[in-house]
Amino acid sequence: MLRSGRGSSSSIKEKENEDNCIICSNKVLERDLGLQCEMCERWSHCKCEGIGQDTYSLLQHDNIHWFCSNCNKGVQKILKSMGKIENRMDKIESEMHEFKGQVRVAEDKSDSRMNKFEKELESFKAQMDETLTKYSQDIKNSLKSVDETEMKSVVGAEVDKSIGQQFGLRTIQIQQLQESLDKTKEFVEEEQDKESRRNNIVIYRVPESDGDTAADRASDDKKFCEQLLNKLNVGFVPEDIKKTFRLGRRVADEGAQAVRASRPILVELCSYAIKNLIMQSLFKLKSMENKFKSVIISHDMTRTEREQCKILVEEAKEKSRNETGDFIYRVRGPPARMQIVRFRKTN
């Protein structure tokens, strides 16, 4: 916040036409007691704002902020909104830490089951060795008093039978352990895949760029994404995007066919907080200009989540076909909490 005595006389003369009081429209001269609003950067006379000498002296401190009467209400709204955003970000960060803790627990369980599986194999090998040693010694002792040929036949059959039973039992146990291990591994891989996609969004129906090189087309796609997200008014800045790229193989068709065949764009964002704000503001798309109005923005889902979504979409379509009233059914919600929601039809 700048006040009187705000610069050299030459610099003041250069800006004489700009330093008019926003209340009385007269110039705020160097000899006047004047205050500059930190929001709109316009000047006001202290007397016009009803500010006395004592208050003016207090405002001389560097850590004191001042806003004109026109901007004061707007600043209050901004500060209140910033406070809500900070609270929301704190909540999101807390949920993220909790989620990471769950993933670590799952990984620990996977390691524990792997160790148990290895111990079971070692135990099985030891028991097999012990069984073979025992029967081998029994055979030697028995051969001393029984005909060697007959004994080999009888004992061999018994040994084969016993070993077969033991081996069959252990085989079943190993299969069960392997199935449990595979399920645990799939769960951990799915959770890791979810975490890697957590900050991503996918944008559909964006026309393919006709740039000459891949770099030109990628640059055009990124500019489109920046313009679109900026239109949502969620505090987005270009630095919030880490990477953008098209999914699938490029289609060289032209015209209307190219629009229908345009590949979706995957956008990697820097934080889950900005992604969450974007997803909460998608209702604004329908009021945008035509080139943005038709796009669709969704979460970046894993293969399992896409399969679940596809099943729910088919169920929603079936419900809509069988609906006799003025309602339709759509799938809504984040990947982990997708559900079918009923909406009233609009004209």
The pLDDT value recorded for residue 11 is 44
Report which secondary-structure segment, H or E, holds 92. helix 69-143
Write out the two tokens for 264. 């979706």
Q: How many CA atoms lie within 13 A of 232 on its CB side?
A: 23
The pLDDT value recorded for residue 132 is 60
May I ask the CATH architecture of the domain 9-67?
2-Layer Sandwich (3.30)
Chain centroid to CA 4: 50
**Region class of 207: left (phi > 0), else alpha (psi between -120 and 50), else beta:** beta
Q: What is the number of other CB atoms lying within 10 angstroms of the CB of residue 16?
A: 11
The pLDDT value recorded for residue 227 is 94
The pLDDT value recorded for residue 257 is 46
Q: Measured between alpha carbons, how far is residue 48 from residues 16, 25, 38 in Å?
A: 19, 10, 17
Write out the two tokens for 73. 């209400």
The pLDDT value recorded for residue 278 is 93
Write out the two tokens for 158. 């018994």
Average pLDDT by consecutive 10-residue portion of the chain (347 residues)? 41 56 87 84 87 83 76 73 72 71 64 66 68 61 52 56 68 80 86 90 93 92 94 92 91 51 91 92 91 91 90 92 88 86 81
Find the length of the chain.
Answer: 347
The pLDDT value recorded for residue 242 is 93
The residues spanned by each domain of the chain are: 9-67, 98-195, 200-344
